[in-house]
Amino acid sequence: MAEDEEYEEGSEPEEELSDKQKIEIAKWFLTNSPPGEIQYVAKDVRSVLTDEHLYNMAVSEAFPIYNKTHIISLELPDKSGDVLITTYGELNETEYLDPRTAQVATVDHVKQVCTEVRPAMDEELPSPYIEEFRCALDAEIIKYVAEAYPKGICSVYCINGKDVEGPGSDFELAVLISAARHSPQNFCNGSWRSIWNVEFKDDMQMIELRCTMQVGAHYFEEGNVQLDANHECKDSTIFQSPDDCAISITNIIRHHETEYLASLEGSYLNLPDTTFKDLRRKLPVTRTLFPWHNTLQISLNRDITKEIGTGK
């Protein structure tokens, strides 16, 4: 058979993907894995690639991005606490600062473990003046997170002006809160991440806060439903003593996060009358409208089984 007759009329032979394209596709799947599921996705990616070299290249690039994006927490080897994997504490590709214990953890991104820990050097830590504000805020945030997020981990970093020795200069702290609940045996995983940038403006005697909150959830029992929500907000308070600043900032964080969580809960209650309705065609193939007024008394599984004729 002639070569031009080997393919159906109008069709073209599929082009083989280059190694670079395969790596980029693999990275996309890895970095877009739902909360707590990148290891499962990596296992499948490895099977699909069937090339250990390409797989290693993909995971070496994707895992650090995923870990920092999801602000995962890893237990320190000496059991003294947890370190958050975030750009705010990143000293280099594998070392991350834990400000609370003044230690630096060496991280294996692909295995998602801390392999060793060392004391932080003086130049890696803020000045005593900044540390007083950072430590006071950290103490208040710890109490708040313990109340609001049962499995939450938090940390406070100095991200600007860490060498400031006393009043008269501006500096900036970052409050990070990360909470995850992984329950793959129940087909459900989720995470909460909030980043609060706290600017201390000495000349104005004001503190300005900017926040980004992110919620991710994945439910996959007999389906695949994901939630990926973001929320931003701003607020401000008066520049006071370290302890008073810490209390005021924490109260602002508590207010905004509680308000956002309440709005999410309200949205869930309205889903049957809004989003879920829009997901279904106005008149299905059965030509029978769905009884939205009676959703709580309907067993979808039973009715669908009956409709397609597989029920007993």
Backbone angles phi, psi at 174, to 5 degrees: -130, 125
Indicate if the pLDDT at residue 60 is higher than 60: yes
Indicate if the pLDDT at residue 6 is higher than 60: no
Q: Which CATH superfamily is domain 16-69 in?
A: F-actin capping protein, alpha subunit (3.30.1140.60)
Indicate if the pLDDT at residue 105 is higher than 60: yes
Q: Which CATH class is domain 126-306?
A: alpha beta
Between CA 143 and CA 132 the distance in angstroms is: 17
Kindly report, residue by residue over 230-269, the tens digit of the pLDDT: 999 999 999 999 999 999 999 999 999 999 999 988 877 7
Q: Domain boundaries in the chain?
A: 16-69, 73-124, 126-306
Query: What value does the mean pLDDT take over residues 73-86?
Result: 92
Q: Which CATH architecture has domain 73-124?
A: 2-Layer Sandwich (3.30)
Buried b (16+ CB within 10 A) or exposed e, 222-256: eeeeeeeeebebeeebebeebeebbbbbbebbeeb
First to last CA, the chain: 52
Q: Which residue has the higher pLDDT, 13 or 165?
A: 165
Backbone angles phi, psi at 74, to 5 degrees: -130, 140
* Domain pair 16-69 / 126-306, same fold: no
pTM given for the model: 0.81
Residues 6+ apart with CB under 8 A from 281: none
Indicate if the pLDDT at residue 1 is higher than 50: no
Calculate the alpha carbon distances from 168 to 129, 135, 159, 202 in Å: 12, 20, 18, 6
